[in-house]
C-alpha cells in the first residue's frame, strides 16, 4: 500500500521486492482510474511505471469483450461525428467497424501481452453492429435545416458544454474528470455493450456530480442503455445537495491519493 500523504509527503512510493518505484501522479482522476487505484494500488502503480523492456508502461492485457467495448464506443463516436460533419452522406457502420478494428490491430501489434491479430479475428462484427443499431436509435441527430446551432439557453447554462457524444466533464476545483458517452439537452446517457454491473450506476452518478460542478445544475435525466439486449435503466436523479456531498467526498478521495 502507498504511504499516507500525512505520514510521508512527496510523490507516491511503492516497494516491490528490492525495488522502489515512483509512478507518475496522474493529471486527472477519472471514475475508472480512481476505482483501479483503490482496488489495488500496487497493480495501479505497476501499470503507471515506465518499464524499459516494454519501452514505456506495461501494456494492457486486453480481452475479446474489452476490445469489443472499445470498438463499440468508437463506432458511436464516429456516428455522432459523421452526423454533424457529413449529414447529407450515409453513415456505413459495417465499413466503419472494420476500419476501426484494423486500426486497433495496427495500434496493438507491438503489445507483447496479446496476439492482436488473433484477438482481432475473434471480434464479432455482427454482434457489434446489432448493439450499435440499438444504441444509435437513442442518439438525437442534429437538425440541419439551415445552420446547425445548439440551444442557446442550454449552451448558456452549460457554460460551453456541448451536447454530443463523448463529452468531457472536468471538475473546475479538482483533478476529477469523466467522459460521458452522450449528453443531449441535459440528459446524460451511458451506453454499455456488455451485461449490467453494480458499478455502472455509481459511474453514472459520478458523471452527474461532475455535470453539476460544470453547469451548476442537476442533469435532466440519467440513463443506462444496454445495447446488446436493447434495455434502458433510468436512474433516479439525486437532489443537488446529495450530488454536492458526493462531489466533496470524491474530491477528498482524489486528494488523499496525491496530496493535492
- Quote the pTM value: 0.78
Q: What angle do CA 239, 73, 236 make, to 5 degrees?
A: 15
Is the per-residue pLDDT at 6 higher than 70?
no
Using pLDDT thresholds of 50, 70 and 90, give the confidence band for residue 165: confident
Q: How far is CA 70 from the centre of its chain?
A: 10
Strand 187-192 and strand 221-226: the pairing is parallel
Give pLDDT tens digits for 8-52: 344 567 666 666 766 777 778 899 888 888 888 777 777 777 776
> How many alpha carbons fall within 13 Å on the CB side of residue 235?
23
Query: How far apart (Å, rounded) are the C-alpha atoms in residues 40 and 135?
Result: 33
Q: What is 150-204 written as a DSSP string?
A: --HHHHHHHTT---SEEEEEE-TTSSBEEEEEEEETTEEEEEESS---THHHHHH
Give pLDDT tens digits for 201-214: 999 999 999 999 99
Amino acid at each position: 500500500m502507498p504511504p499516507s500523504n500525512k505520514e510521508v509527503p512527496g510523490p507516491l512510493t511503492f516497494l516491490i521486492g528490492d525495488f522502489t518505484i515512483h509512478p507518475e501522479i496522474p493529471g486527472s482522476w477519472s471514475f475508472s482510474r480512481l476505482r483501479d487505484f483503490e482496488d489495488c494500488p500496487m497493480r495501479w502503480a505497476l501499470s503507471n511505471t515506465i518499464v524499459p523492456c516494454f519501452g514505456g508502461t506495461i501494456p494492457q492485457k486486453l480481452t475479446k469483450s474489452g476490445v469489443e467495448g472499445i470498438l463499440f464506443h468508437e463506432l458511436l463516436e464516429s456516428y455522432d461525428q459523421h452526423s454533424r460533419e457529413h449529414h447529407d452522406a450515409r453513415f456505413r457502420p459495417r465499413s466503419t467497424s472494420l476500419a476501426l478494428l484494423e486500426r486497433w490491430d495496427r495500434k496493438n501489434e507491438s503489445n507483447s501481452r496479446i496476439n492482436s491479430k488473433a484477438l482481432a479475428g475473434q471480434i464479432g462484427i455482427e454482434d457489434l453492429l446489432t448493439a450499435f443499431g440499438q444504441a444509435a436509435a437513442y442518439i438525437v441527430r442534429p437538425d440541419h435545416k439551415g445552420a446547425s446551432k445548439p440551444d442557446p439557453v442550454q449552451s448558456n447554462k452549460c457554460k460551453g458544454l456541448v451536447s454530443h457524444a463523448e463529452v468531457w466533464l472536468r471538475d473546475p476545483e479538482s483533478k476529477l474528470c469523466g467522459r460521458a458517452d452522450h449528453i443531449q439537452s441535459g440528459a446524460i446517457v451511458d451506453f454499455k455493450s456488455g451485461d449490467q454491473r453494480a458499478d455502472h450506476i455509481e459511474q453514472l452518478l459520478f458523471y452527474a456530480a461532475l455535470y453539476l460542478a460544470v453547469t451548476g445544475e442537476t442533469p435532466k435525466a440519467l440513463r443506462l442503455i444496454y445495447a446488446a439486449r436493447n434495455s434502458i435503466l433510468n436512474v433516479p436523479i439525486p437532489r443537488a445537495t446529495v450530488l454536492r456531498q458526493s462531489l466533496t467526498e470524491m474530491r477528498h478521495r482524489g486528494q488523499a491519493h496525491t496530496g493535492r
